[in-house]
Chain A
Amino acid sequence: MFSLESLTTLVQDWLNKTFPPAIALLFEFVIVGVLAIALFAALGLVLVIMERKVAAWIQIRLGPNRVGPKGMFQSAADTVKLIMKEGLTPDGADKFLFNLAPFIVMMVAMLVLAPIGFAKGFHIWDINIGVLYVSAISSVSVIGILMAGWSSNNKYSLLGAMRSGAQMVSYELSVGLSVLSIIVLTGSLNINDIVLSQQNGWWLFKAHIPAVISFVVFIIAVTAETNRAPFDLSEAESELTAGFHTEYSGMKFALFFLAEYINIFIVCAIGATLFLGGWMPFHIGNWEAFNHIMDYIPSFLWFFGKTFFLIFLIMWFRWTFPRLRVDQLLNLEWKYLLPISMVNLIVMTLVAIQGWHF
């Protein structure tokens, strides 16, 4: 299988040969930083246009079709508009927190990107507690949202932030438990190990019904955790106008918007890694010929294909379902998802110990 590892080692070796170690490290930081920001910008543009096109397709209309071929540059034009706009700060707002909040939300989204394996041998940080790192860091973004809601000095924002706080804290449990149920199978938190453990088939297919249950719970819970419809109570356009980011405009609003999409990408990437084998091609047991053909498809295509499939699923939810009420939202988590995923974790542990999975 074609690996990007040779490329990354080549760059590293060259840097180490040419420069002293400290400077080489600095250059690596810069390269990674630039790549991450470029990926961010690209993902933001692609996901926004994708959302609008998917929405249009579901809603029997055309969607953006004026800027560029088939409206493909629409989100670029929107970005320019948002940059040109004035970033207002309300009079009664706590100016420091108000301006800090979007950056915290954005920074969290950027940090979580680190351990994700985009292709074979291509990730920013091969950390041995990768999954734990993701769930630990991603829960920080709720602080940014609470900060935004509180500092705006707006009752709608406050209500939205309150809802968001309750929602994200509760749904993190289900996400964590469904992630754990895969961890008990792999025995490792390292994302690379998790991907490699799916050499013979993806966990979704290998670990029987418990894996399917935890996959469904995972998808529901991450939809809630990223504040997407039908769990978009913190924004709730028809109830709270725009929820926690009511008072934000211009680029500060855009950062929230971008962070939302990056978060969707990240949770879908994690879902693809845990359940659908990350960049691992589709392999069936010992069908050598079939597996060999599948290996010809580059690993980053597999990764992005699976991730975008999950993103499409989440967009599909958004444009189909009505929104839940706040008490129903918490009931769903505490009365249904949490007990189900707890029992499921026990069943999965049993499966792992007995070696019943393929």
Chain B
Amino acid sequence: MVEEIGKTAEGDLIINVGPQHPATHGVLHLVITLNGETIKKVEPHLGYIHRSIEKMCESLTYRQFIYTTSRMDYLSAHINNHACALTVEKGLGIEIPARAQVIRVLMDELTRIASHELWWGAMAMDLGAFTPFFHAFRERETINEIMEETCGARLTMNYMVPGGVMVDLHPNFQSRVKNFLKLYKRKIHEYDELVTGNIIFQNRMKGVGYLTKEAAISYGVTGPAARGSGVSCDVRKHYPYEIYNQIQFDEILETEGDSFARYMVRLREMNESIKIIEQLIDNIPEGDFQAKTKAVLKLPKGEFYQRVETARGELGVYIVSEGGTTPYRIKFRSPGFSNLACLDHITRGGKIGDLIASMGTLDLVIPDIDR
């Protein structure tokens, strides 16, 4: 930091945004250099919520380590667990029952909607509108209730296990999800009326936080943030896992690359998730919800990698096994870390308000960045 201060020009103002700040939604620490209201540099400082999850995983068995990953990107807990379960299954070479696959995809998509709902509310709150937050939570609560009933938890579900899912679906699951679909369709137009169509909102979002396609690729941005710049990177389409190759859905792409494009990608993605759920909810096959696995799992010596599409982008799980009951080394390629990298690029030259708006559209979850 001392060195950084030496480099700044006369009249520059250095501000610490965070680690405790209402707009960072967690303990992210940004050191921003300002000239008046104009941003000259943004420097993220990480590590405030580092829990060494990767190191912890090395001493946990292949059944246990999955639970720590719910705490990484807590809004995509299901999808994180899913990625780990898939990697372990890849190593073991297990076939998963069809029912478990459908349940997993259903849960993933519900999680994705819940995550985008929360992002939408928080995003509007970053821009100074408080009401959308409550509207978003109204729908999200319904999903949380579905999760609570089937998984026994609302946030860190720990529902996916190697070989399938932990328990079977609750008998009410289908009717509840259908109720949610009805509620969602009745309420989704409010999102556009309250926020998307608002002239102040559009002025704040359009033309700020530009991320070109080339920059998105070079920074390793994935997920909705990259798709807003026209980078086709949906893992569900390009490297389909589970039954995603049998489902009809579109990859949402916007080519503008500004904050508004990233916003629209997420809103439209929610509709795609609804489409996926509608296709599957009446076609959940009968059968086992879990494949028969040994009590103690041992992965063969080797390296295993699996990627999935979380609500924020591409999550990669890399396991190095020495043949024991615990992994030798685990590495998570988290979407938030790479998405954060482009923050300086997209906000430089903008105003403080733009920084907050652009940071909102990246949808950062801080425990996902630090792990």
Contacts and interface: CB of A to CB of B under 8 A. Distances in A.
Interface of A: 55, 58-61, 155-156, 159, 163, 229-230, 232-233, 236-241, 319-328
A159 B352 contact: yes
Contacts of B354: 325
Given A59-B131, A319-B130, A325-B204, A239 B198 contact: no
A325 B138 contact: no
Nearest to B134: A59
Question: Quick one: which of A58, A319, A321, A324 has the most chain B CB within 10 A?
Answer: A321
Given A59-B134, A155-B13, A241 B21 contact: yes
Interface of B: 13, 15, 21-23, 37, 124-131, 133-135, 138, 194-195, 198, 200-201, 203-204, 351-354, 356
Nearest to B23: A238
B27 to A, nearest CB: 15
Contact of B129 (A60, A240, A322): A322
Contacts of A232: 128
Given A230-B128, A325-B354, A60 B134 contact: yes
A237 B22 contact: yes
A97 to B, nearest CB: 20
A210 to B, nearest CB: 24
Contacts of B353: 233, 236, 239, 323, 325-326
A241 B201 CA distance: 20
Contacts of A320: 129, 131, 194
A321 B204 CA distance: 12
B131 A238 contact: no
Contacts of B128: 229-230, 232, 236-238, 321-323
Given A238-B125, A238-B356, A324 B134 contact: no
A159 B129 CA distance: 21
Chain A facing B: main interface SS: loop
Nearest to A327: B351
A170 to B, nearest CB: 15
A327 B208 CA distance: 13
Contact of B198 (A60, A240, A322, A327): A322
A238 B23 CA distance: 5
A315 to B, nearest CB: 12
Question: Quick one: which of B21, B124, B352, B356 has the most chain A CB within 10 A?
Answer: B352
Contacts of B198: 321-322
Given A55-B130, A322-B129, A239 B15 contact: no
26 contacts: A58-B131, A59-B130, A60-B135, A60-B138, A159-B352, A230-B128, A237-B22, A237-B128, A238-B125, A238-B128, A238-B356, A319-B131, A320-B129, A320-B194, A321-B128, A321-B129, A321-B200, A322-B127, A323-B127, A323-B204, A324-B203, A325-B203, A325-B351, A325-B354, A326-B351, A326-B352
Contacts of A155: 13, 15
Nearest to A320: B131
Nearest to A229: B128
Contacts of B138: 60
A55 B352 CA distance: 27
